[in-house]
Amino acid sequence: MTIADVARKAGVSRATVSRVLNGQDTVDPVLAGRVRQVSRRLGYHPSAIAQGLARGASHTVGVVVPDLANPFFPEVVKALTVAAGKDGFSVVVADSDEDPEAELRLIQDVSRRVDGLVLCSPRAGIADLRRVVRKGLPTVCTNRMVDPPLTASVMIDSGRGMQAVIRHLTELGHRRIAYLAGPSSSSSNADRLGALERSLPGAVVIPTGSKSQEGYASAAAAAEAGATAVICFNDLVAFGALARLRALGVAVPGEMSVVGFDDIPAADFVHPALTTVRLPKAELGRRSWEVLRDQLGDHGAGASVRLEPTLVVRESTGKAIGATEDAVAVGERAGG
Amino acid sequence: MTIADVARKAGVSRATVSRVLNGQDTVDPVLAGRVRQVSRRLGYHPSAIAQGLARGASHTVGVVVPDLANPFFPEVVKALTVAAGKDGFSVVVADSDEDPEAELRLIQDVSRRVDGLVLCSPRAGIADLRRVVRKGLPTVCTNRMVDPPLTASVMIDSGRGMQAVIRHLTELGHRRIAYLAGPSSSSSNADRLGALERSLPGAVVIPTGSKSQEGYASAAAAAEAGATAVICFNDLVAFGALARLRALGVAVPGEMSVVGFDDIPAADFVHPALTTVRLPKAELGRRSWEVLRDQLGDHGAGASVRLEPTLVVRESTGKAIGATEDAVAVGERAGG
DNA sequence: GTGAAAGCGCTAACAG
DNA sequence: CTGTTAGCGCTTTCAC
């Protein structure tokens, strides 16, 4: 079932069928009607592949993410597909499973079949990235500092988020704070770590990860370290920490404050409701598309946008134990 | 930068370049080496579009989901992309945003650019589905009864899951049970509802939805209806219900048992840990790919596989209040 | 207004 | 083993 079949049945040339189906108004209405009817009756649908070849553009963009099972990414991808869809673009997604090697392979792979690419929080090293990102393929990179910039970028200022958290916590009198750190390959994690060490050199950093399981495993160490507040790499980790602290009999926020990052929907429904840094996920997806689309059009260099996170205070943070007006003393407590 | 450029620089024909790059062993090692070197130096990457046209297959499959922000689907999509990736296939995903109209449009759209399609829990009516599913395009449909079957299918037996829940609850002495129902367009919801009404004709059904917000809103009604146990359409809804019950001062599981469906990762970390029906999400994705791949190959009709859910009992369910050995009485209680 | 013809970049017979 | 020759299905000048 090709355009030729329609042309033959309708008694016109393939060019005419093409014109009609692409909405050109330079065709005799009678013929146009006949073509439309025939093509409908035959159930004809043009091959996007062939169109892609002929037009030199596939109207498809790729997005590669580290882990689609992490609630952060589906929201970004969703907003991106919806936005791109409105402009007639499809989105192919690739999941690298947090593996930098796989990520590089996927980038190259996907690059061969798309008009543009968005790299979501890529985990690969900068040198590797520079190697595989095709010069000439419109690309936007999210949540990943690359200096000098090799692509357009859309960032969320994680450092600012961390600062807001620290301010919040210190205002509550917390002096001993632990950070359950995310994957070392995560650039956002590095940003947060940087901000943390700058504002609070004495913070205890506990390598953790990005899943609840890992938060569960690490939370005890935070308690043992005498922290009165624990900042988690993301909400999932915070959920795990919350569960572990409960198991340990440590009251939240009474004895320990907990804060997350992301603000996934469930954060508002756990108990205690999680204080967290809201990252504008949907906006990240939308803006990524816009920035990419701009490059697709005028072939320009591509913008660099920076989005702001906002601290959402709920129930999991509270006054430090033993905190006084001008608290200096650290509320030491035995772990678990 | 096309295959012709490489051919010219390497002093061979395009066919030879093609052969080398596709790993055919029928080429003089010397030429092959030269070709590989030139193509690397030039940074040449074949266009997947052109290959697709020439080969008559794009090595891309589509998957359309109702809502990527619902944690059920990313896990399915992830497993699917990983499985397909291993066989050299890319996956384009489309998110219909729970809108049947949009879904139909997306199906047609995506169909034009892929070798195969998986419809994940499609929300459109059967008649519409029948209209847009392209005869001849390998397709698998998940979680959607279509009779007579118009495609291969991979189902999770939701009814069985519901039965297991009811058995569990009645063994605990519950007699008055409420169901916070999911979207009416959801086939799984219909299955669960069917099983519920068959096993427990007196159950109270409260139209709810698929999000925590909605569960939060509906939970009070369940309490007011005098239920001692509430079954939720999914874990997200259950999280909402849990939050509302806590706000209402209703103890779980002391005064009210709560169960969900899906078993998303967070279910094990909320408090109380959620009793839920685990749906094999990753397996659903993997099997969907396998069934699709089989059709891609031998052009066969496509299998019909059925996956079993399993009840995971955690902390949110317990003995009905006032339940006796042979409980008959209903534990009536005032709503919050 | 409409058709003929020339590709888009690649693969796959088919000769040699 | 390697090159030549046809296309894959569509779009798009360029004449008519």
What's the gap in Å between the CA of A74 and the closest CA on chain B? 6
Percent of chain A with pLDDT over 90: 90
DSSP string, A26-77: -S-HHHHHHHHHHHHHHT----HHHHHHHHT--SEEEEEES-TTSTHHHHHH
Q: In chain B, which residue's Cα lies nearest the Cα of A92?
A: B92
Cβ pair B113:A82 closer than 8 A: no
CA of A45: which chain B residue's CA is closest? Answer: B112
End-to-end CA distance of chain B: 70
Strand pairing category for A152-156 and A310-312: unpaired
Mutation pick from A59, A73, A75, A90 vs chain B, by most beta carbons of B within 10 Å, is: A90
Q: Provide, as residue numbers in chain A, all residues whose Cβ is less than 8 Å from the Cβ of B77.
A: 68, 93, 95
Instruction: List B residues 248-277 in contact with A (Cβ-Cβ < 8 A).
Output: 265-266, 268-271, 273
B2 Cβ contacts chain C strand, under 7 Å:
yes
Give the residue ranges of chain B where pLDDT is below 70.
299, 323-336
Distance A67 CA to D5 C1' (A): 47
CATH superfamily, with its number, for domain A58-157+281-309: Response regulator (3.40.50.2300)
Which residue is closest to D6 in terms of CA–C1' distance?
Answer: B54
Asked if residue A161 lies in contact with residue A277, where contact means CB atoms within 8 angstroms, the answer is yes
CB–CB contact A93 B94 (8 Å): no
**pLDDT at residue A9 above 80?**
yes
B26 touches strand C (CB under 7 A): no
Range A42-60 average pLDDT: 96
Residue A324 clears pLDDT 80, i.e. is over it: no
Give the pLDDT score at B327: 42
Chain A residues with beta carbon closer than 8 angstroms to that of B113: 47-49, 52, 58, 60, 90
Three-class SS state of A12: coil
Distance CA A92, CA A111 (A): 11
Give backbone dihedrals phi and psi of B163, rounded to 5 degrees, phi first.
Answer: -60, -45
Span(s) in chain A for CATH 1.10.260.40: 3-46
Q: Quick check: B108 contacting A, CB < 8 Å? A: yes
Any CB–CB contact under 8 A between A52 and chain B? yes
Q: Could you read off the pLDDT of A206-249 as tens digits, one per residue? A: 999 999 999 999 999 999 999 999 999 999 999 999 999 999 99
Q: B48 and A112 in contact by Cβ < 8 A?
A: yes
Q: What are phi and psi of B170, to 5 degrees?
A: -70, -35
What CATH number labels B159-279+311-335?
Answer: 3.40.50.2300
For position A159, what pLDDT does the model report? 96
Does any strand C atom come closer than 7 Å to the Cβ of B21?
Answer: yes
- List the strands of the sheet with A177-181, edge to edge: A204-207, A177-181, A229-232, A257-262, A275-278, A310-312
Residue nearest C6, CA–C1′ metric: A54
Q: What is the pLDDT of residue B145?
A: 85
A320 to chain B, closest Cα gap in Å: 23
pLDDT for the residue A331:
36
B contacts of A111 (beta carbons < 8 Å): 45
Q: So what's the pLDDT on residue A222?
A: 97
Contact of B219 with B312, CB cutoff 8 Å: no
The residues, any chain, with a CB within 8 Å of residue A284's CB and separated by 6 or more, are A76, A79, A142, A143, A154, A156, A307
Residue of A nearest to B245 (CA): A269
Asked if B304 reaches chain A (Cβ–Cβ under 8 Å), the answer is: no
d(CA B156, CA B141): 11
Residues 150-179 of B with CB under 8 A from A: none
How confident is the model at residue B218, as a pLDDT?
A: 98
d(CA B77, CA B284): 9
Residues with Cβ within 8 Å of residue B219, at least 6 apart in sequence: B180, B230, B240, B241, B244, B245, B248
- Average pLDDT, integer, range A283-308: 91
* Residue B330 confidence (pLDDT): 40
Residue pLDDT, tens place only, A111-147: 999 999 999 999 999 999 999 999 889 999 999 988 8
Q: Assess B247–A contact: CB distance below 8 Å, yes or no.
A: no
Nearest residue to nucleotide C8, by CA–C1' distance, is A54
- The separation, in Å, between residue B57 CA and nucleotide C5 C1' comes to 26
pLDDT in tens, A79-95: 999 999 999 999 999 99
The Cα A142–Cα A155 span in angstroms is 5
Name every chain B residue with its beta carbon within 8 A of the beta carbon of A53.
47, 49-50, 53
- pLDDT of residue A333 exceeding 60, the answer is no
A329 CA to chain B: closest CA distance, Å? 33
Q: B238-249: b or e for each residue (b if 16 or more CB lie within 10 Å)? A: bbbbbbbbbebe
How far B94 CA lies from chain A's nearest CA (Å)? 7
* CATH 3.40.50.2300 segments of chain B: 58-157+281-309, 159-279+311-335
What pLDDT score does B336 carry?
Answer: 30
The candidate with the shortest Cα–Cα distance to B156, out of B258, B72, B275, B71, is: B72
The domain B3-46 having CATH identifier 1.10.260.40: the answer here is yes
End-to-end CA distance of chain A: 70
Query: Are B154 and B305 within 8 A, CB to CB?
Result: yes
Identity of the residue in B49, B73, B216 whose CB atom sits nearest the CB atom of A58: B49
Which residues 30-69 on A are within 7 A of strand D at the CB atom? 46-47, 50-51, 53-55
